[in-house]
Amino acid sequence: MSYPYQIKTAEEYKEAYKKSVENPDAFWNDIAETFQWHKKWDRTLEWNFIEPDIKWFVNGKLNITENCIDRHLKELGEKPAIIWEPNNPEERVRIVTYNRLHKRVCQFAQVLKNNGVKKGDRVCIYMGMVPELAYAVLGCARIGAIHSVIFGGFSAQSIADRLLDAQAEYIVTCDGAYRGEKVIPLKDVIDDALIGNKTVKRVIVYTRTRTPVSMIKGRDVWWEDEMAHAEDQVEKGGAVSFPAVEMDAEDTLFILYTSGSTGKPKGVVHTCGGYMVYTNYSFVNTFQYQPGQVFFCTADIGWITGHSYIVYGPLSAGATSVMFEGVPTWPNAGRLWEIVDKYKVDILYTAPTAIRSLMGFGLEPLQGKDLSSLKVLGSVGEPINEEAWHWFDEHIGKGKCPIVDTWWQTETGGILISNLAGVTPGIPSFATLPLPGVQPVLIDENGKEVEGNPAAGNLCIKAPWPSILRTTYGDHERCRQTYFSAYPGLYFTGDGALRDEKGNYRITGRVDDVLNVSGHRIGTAEVENAINMHSGVVESAVVGYPHAIKGQGIYAYVVFNGDKHNDTGDRQNILQTVSRIIGPIAKPDKIQFVKGLPKTRSGKIMRRILRKIAEGETQNFGDISTLLDPGVVEEIAEGKV
Ligand code: WT7
């Protein structure tokens, strides 16, 4: 595998960037032509950001799995595609070669077909981090079904909402999942999610933990039985092979749900052609991946980071991708370093929250771990604070590994702003420069572009890159409203940013009511809805506050019915309710019971004040004269938890 479009010097970066802006069609044509297409596209790009309507590689035909697997078989067939490290370090590791991956993905595509799955059908995948999760994702892509992966930490209610929104007819799950010392009963959760569901016809269950499950006749089948049957079928004609279904470049590849500032998660839609090209391009360039290197992204495939940089980006580049089932702190805080040592990892891509939590264990867990294979480090999910950056640089990279601070979003599909490892300079706490094809702009409070440097404003993007979201599933208007209406003609990211004298971007965080908790996106409205479902709660308001490890913590102000609440018991019950409605990741870190919320005369909650109190401010609340009852502010400030 070679990457003719890999940028090697700062000079080449400048040239590539210039070309990508001046002649995007020619720029992306050259890159896209290195992939395997059934039919070449007629036009490279058609777009407007008003409706929005975005099409890349118009009328091009392809299947992404042929690009992620088949095209590598001749050269890399016996090379590892996935190295799987189990939760329990005593358990046998699994090395999945490209040949093996091909076989399993074909086999699973056959299983899907046997169970009635057709192109365009929605398949919900709710599994732990086992290789079968990758087979399931790629099996869907091979047959043209739309996968919707749901992170294993989401509750039955969250799954039910997503199943309904996607009108999913199929589910792939596990009996259970290991996470550190915990076993999560995934199939049980699915059973709860399916109470009252009218669309799901089939549930395929992979055995991982031997957690007892109830299998419903006519609906639930075992992965193992189905795979064995498929193997018999496909093997009759010789090797296991399943012809990849031809997809249009703009056919949907997957849906991934993410939170926003309203109460209901939205299904971000990515399509086949542009997503393939951009995840590959950004992978090869940001991390400066070289053939044969071992790439380790510590994310879960339930999030976009795992989709783009465990599965599609690395595999389309013929890379070796490490997939880790467990957690960084179990059985001890040296686990990631042990994995780096064991597999001689070249590139490690992780999150600031993981770095901060591991920093807390000191240097002891690093003892005896050989990290000399590392060449590049990466960070994603939230701004990386300088302390964490320096610790990562000094103790993990030993001062010799470039750190790429990669800014992007579920909606962007791939990395948009980042230094390129060893090619363009990194600056602590700056994501730095846009990748070729990406045109960021900063917009001031009057909706005007802020030109010149330095500058500050809301971060928008001027023109499409190949992996921009195309719509939100089943509700295009919501997509328009959320991303394309605040500043007509621009894609609005929801983030604020600064730009220094040299044009480097520093992301300052969300400017909407979305929190970033341990790199997970959580909408405050969603948490409020969940809290409000608890009986006895009249209303609530949720804000973020600085948290040493999570980046942001969740602070909930809750108005209880009457004075009858018992603090500890009710706190526990509220946490339980949020866990049930969304999942444990959305549990508030702090709950303060209040008599009332600071509201304007028109009934709007003044979150600015609540944020200040949660941050520890005791008096300077700014102008509170428009409040219906200014007295409530002091009372809340005094009761801070
Ligand atoms: C939000 C997107 C993209 C994968 C993980 C999160 C924040 C992400 C950075 C970074 C500063 C970052 C932004 C963004 N964010 N990476 N390197 N520096 N902030 O995906 O859940 O879609 O969240 O994460 O606020 O909008 P997501």
Q: Where are the domains of the chain?
A: 514-638
Contact 500, 527 (CB under 8 A): no
Confidence of residue 218 (pLDDT cuts 50, 70, 90): very high
Share of the chain above pLDDT 90, in %: 91
User: What is the per-residue pLDDT across 49-106, written as a single tens digit (0 to 9) for each?
Assistant: 999 999 999 999 999 999 999 999 999 999 999 999 999 999 999 999 999 999 999 9
* Strands 122-126, 146-149: pairing kind: parallel
Tell me, in angstroms, the distance from the centre of ligand 1 to residue 305's CA: 10
Determine the angle formed by the axes of helices 98-114 and 131-143, rounding to 10 degrees: 60
Lowest-pLDDT choice from 257-266, 301-310, 368-377, 455-464: 257-266
Q: How far is the CA of 430 from the centre of ligand 1 (A)?
A: 13
Nearest ligand 1 atom, CA 411: 22
Nearest Cα residue to 165 out of 103, 56, 255: 255
Residue 450 has pLDDT above 90, yes or no: yes
Cα separation, 11 vs 438, in Å, equals 17
Question: Does residue 408's CB lie within 6 angstroms of at least one atom of ligand 1?
Answer: yes
One-character DSSP codes across 28-88: HHHHHTTS--SB--SEEEEEETTTTEEEEEET-EE-HHHHHTGGGHHHHTTSEEEEEE-SS
Nearest atom (ligand 1) to Cα of 493: 26
The average confidence (pLDDT) of the chain is: 96
Give me ligand 1 centre to Cα 380, in Å. Answer: 7
SS3 181: coil
Q: Give the C-alpha separation, 253 to 173, whole Å.
A: 19
Mean pLDDT of 100-117: 97
| pTM > 0.95: yes or no | yes
Structure tokens at 399: 């001062």
pLDDT at 566: 74
Calculate how far, in angstroms, residue 264's C-alpha sits from the geometric centre of ligand 1: 19
Q: Could you tell me the distance, in angstroms and rounded to a whole number, from the CA of residue 486 to the centre of ligand 1?
A: 20
Residue 295 has pLDDT above 70, yes or no: yes
pLDDT-above-70 percentage for the chain: 99
Cβ(380) – ligand 1 distance below 6 Å: yes
Residues whose CB is less than 8 angstroms from the CB of residue 622 and which lie 6 or more positions away in sequence, other chains included? 608, 609, 612
The pLDDT assigned to 238 comes to 52
Alpha-carbon gap, residue 514 to 76, rounded angstroms: 43
Angle value at C-alpha 410, between 7 and 580, nearest 5 degrees: 150
Q: How far is the CA of 637 from the centre of ligand 1 (A)?
A: 31
Measured from the Cα of 305, ligand 1's closest atom is: 4
Is 514-638 a CATH 3.30.300.30 domain? yes
Is 637 a residue whose pLDDT tops 70? yes
**pLDDT confidence of residue 264:** 87
DSSP string, 339-366: HHHHHT-SEEEE-HHHHHHHHTT-SGGG
Distance, CA 506 to ligand 1 centroid (Å)? 12
pLDDT for 261 equals: 84
Q: Rounded to 5 degrees, what angle do the CA atoms 424, 429, 430 make?
A: 40
Ligand 1 in reach of 309 Cβ (< 6 A): no
Q: Ligand 1 pocket: which of 507, 514, 520 to mutate (most atoms <8 Å of CB)? A: 507
Looking at residue 237, its pLDDT comes to 55
pLDDT of 563:
65
Q: Is the CB of 383 under 6 A from ligand 1?
A: yes
Instruction: Please tell me which residue, 480 or 631, carries the higher pLDDT value.
Output: 480
323 by Cβ neighbours in 10 Å (0-12 / 13-18 / 19+) ranks as buried
pLDDT one-digit tens code per residue, 451-507: 999 999 999 999 999 999 999 999 999 999 999 999 999 999 999 999 999 999 999
Q: Measured in angstroms, how far is the CA atom of residue 360 from the centroid of ligand 1?
A: 23
Q: Poorest-confidence range of 14-23, 145-154, 263-272, 557-566?
A: 557-566
For residue 418, report the distance from its CA to the centre of ligand 1, in Å.
Answer: 12
State which H helix or E strand residue 553 sits in. strand 551-560
Residue nearest to ligand 1 atom 5, measured at CA: 381
Q: What pLDDT does residue 624 have?
A: 85
Give pLDDT, residue 626.
85
pLDDT digits (tens, 9 = 90+) for 320-364: 999 999 999 999 999 999 999 999 999 999 999 999 999 999 999
Ligand 1, pocket-test mutation among 409, 415, 461, 508, most atoms within 8 A of CB: 409
The mean per-residue pLDDT over the stretch 110-124 comes to: 98
17-45 tens-digit pLDDT: 999 999 999 999 999 999 999 999 999 99
Ligand 1 atom showing the smallest separation from residue 406 Cα: 17
Per-residue pLDDT at 621: 85
For ligand 1, the distance from its centroid to the CA atom of residue 31, given in whole angstroms, is 26
Residue nearest to atom 8 of ligand 1 (CA): 381
The predicted model gives 150-175 an average pLDDT of 97
The response to whether residue 300 sits with its C-beta less than 6 Å from ligand 1 reads no
Mean pLDDT, to the nearest integer, of 190-216?
A: 98
Residue nearest to atom 24 of ligand 1 (CA): 381
Question: Between the CA atoms of 136, 139, 143 and 148, what dihedral angle is there, to the nearest 10 degrees?
Answer: 30
Q: Is 507 in the pocket of ligand 1 (CB under 6 A)?
A: yes
Judge if the beta carbon of residue 5 lies within 6 A of ligand 1. no
pLDDT digits over 237-266, tens only?
555 689 999 999 999 999 999 998 888 899
Helices 24-32 + 272-286 axis angle, to 10: 90
